[in-house]
Amino acid sequence: MIGNLRKMKTHGVNPVHYQLALEEVVELNQYIGKEISFKYKGVINCIACGRKTNKSFAQGFCYPCFRDAPQMSPCIIRPELCEGHLGKGRDPEWELAHHVQPHIVYLAISSGLKVGVTRDTQIPTRWIDQGANHAIILAKTDNRYQAGVIEVTMKEFASDKTSWQKMLKNDIPDEIELIEEKEKLRKHIPEELSQFYEIEHEVVSIKYPVEAYPEKVKSIGFDKIPEIEKVLKGIKGQYLIFEDDTVLNIRKHSGYLVEFSG
């Protein structure tokens, strides 16, 4: 089965079910414990415009799209810089559809306590993509800018980064209580945005289809290993975990043309 890789689609949280969208949809959970094969065909197509590119930038973009596409605007990484609510941005219509929409500020446990921002329609997908074991909504805002301002104030108390190695080893601290952390952080929300605090305290727990977590994580990729044939031991975040403790980041290889068999 041949196709350009994209971020794996998911559904469910107990456990997460993963799908690989090639020329047909591949249900990946059925292959855990079995050998699978990827053969990279030497072609990368930009996930934004479709053109061939010799090098992938930022998980799937050609250089012109990396430089100019609204999906690569500075506010993707730093939501507090968003100007969509002001009618500005690289593409104001795109901003209106994607950023001038309800957003979530959340706390999650993936390698430690993490704060993040995402559009409300991306819950729980965003948590799954980051390999979070548990997550809770801190605030619900009207747009991305407001969520970004809240996130900035939270960074003093919680990281906005995930240690992917710890996440993949399932090296997660047990002592973090998300409801307690949320209540402590409430007082640090800027007063002008305090009305967006989420009063409900639902903690979402996520289970991943993993038979064995790696003891030492070694990342592999198609640029150096064009043919990968290994026993799949689990899937977490956007990573495939293999029997020999190697891992493959599917999202990083978005746009790569591959042949899959299992």
Q: Do 194 and 243 reside in the same domain of the chain?
A: no
> What tens digit of pLDDT does each residue of 32-53 get?
999 999 999 999 999 999 999 9
E strand residue ranges, the chain = 2-4, 9-11, 17-21, 25-27, 35-44, 103-109, 113-119, 134-141, 204-205, 218-220, 227-236, 239-242, 246-249, 256-261
Task: Name the band, by pLDDT with cuts 50, 70 and 90, for residue 182.
Answer: very high
Cis ω on the peptide bond leading into residue 15 (within 30° of 0)? yes
Asked if 120 and 91 sit in the same domain, the reply is yes
Handedness of CA 206, 207, 208, 210 (dihedral sign): positive
Q: Judge if 78 and 199 occupy the same domain.
A: yes
List the single range of 57-61, 129-133, 146-150, 173-177 with lowest mean pLDDT.
Answer: 173-177
Tell how far CA 135 is from the center of its chain.
Answer: 14
46: three-class secondary structure by DSSP: coil
Query: Tell me, what amino acid is at 76?
Result: I
Contact 118, 89 (CB under 8 A): no
Same domain, 29 and 91: no
Residues 83 and 35 in one domain: no
Q: Is the pLDDT of residue 247 over 90?
A: yes
- What is the domain extent for residue 225? 2-66+210-261
Strand order in the sheet with 17-21: 9-11, 17-21, 25-27
94 and 164 together in one domain: yes
Q: What is the mean pLDDT of residues 64-69?
A: 95
CA angle 60, 218, 209 (to 5 degrees): 80
pLDDT at 23 over 90: no
- So what's the pLDDT on residue 125? 97
Number of domains in the chain: 2
Q: Which pLDDT score, from 0 to 100, does residue 175 have?
A: 83
Show the CA angle centred on residue 226, arms to residues 224 and 218, nearest 5°. Answer: 50
Under 8 Å between Cβ of 45 and 22: no
Same domain, yes or no, for 189 and 160? yes
